[in-house]
Amino acid sequence: MSEINIRRTHSLTLDDAREVAEGIAAKLEKDFGLDCSWKRNVLHFERPGVNGQVHVTDHDVRLEAKLGLLLGFLKPQIEQEIEAQFDRYFKPNAAKKVAATRPTPARSAADRPQKVPRRRRKR
């Protein structure tokens, strides 16, 4: 089993850091089918092949994840993407920019644009 451990310090308030982590979690739930839940200031996530936690404090954010055999082969790519997201949202000077760069929550099915069926041409 492969492990990913990433830690970033930040200058956000605890509530802002939790909100940013919640936005990232909502995107992961939508894109990858992760089941996420909060217990105090720890976000737990899992799905087949991966499980872990994101610990949020008033001065840092720490991710601990365990990847199954198949996802273990993708560890470098997964780790790189997580680091990019953490760097984007948890920069030490991100407190002023958090409102502008906060991840948008996943849209419900009612909010998504509807596809219009194409008409077939007659021959």
Q: Retrieve residue 84's tokens.
A: 């990019």
Name the band, by pLDDT with cuts 50, 70 and 90, for residue 110.
Answer: low
Backbone angles phi, psi at 17, to 5 degrees: -65, -40
Asked whether the predicted pLDDT for residue 19 surpasses 60, the reply is yes
Residue 93 confidence (pLDDT): 57
Residues 6+ apart with CB under 8 A from 14: 41, 56, 57, 58
pLDDT digits (tens, 9 = 90+) for 56-92: 998 999 999 999 988 888 888 888 888 888 888 887 6
Residue 85 confidence (pLDDT): 84
Cβ-based neighbour number of residue 112 at 10 Å: 8
Tokens of residue 10, six digits: 């930040």
Cα separation, 6 vs 26, whole angstroms: 19
Domains recognised in the chain with CATH numbers: 2-97 (3.30.310.50)
| CA atoms of 91 and 8, how far apart (whole Å) | 8
The model's pLDDT over 67-77, given as tens digits with 9 standing for 90+, comes to: 998 888 888 88
In whole angstroms, what separates CA 73 from the centre of its chain? 20
Per cent of the chain over pLDDT 70 is: 74
Helix (H) or strand (E) holding 28: helix 14-32
Residue (of 101, 109, 110) closest to 20 by Cα position: 101
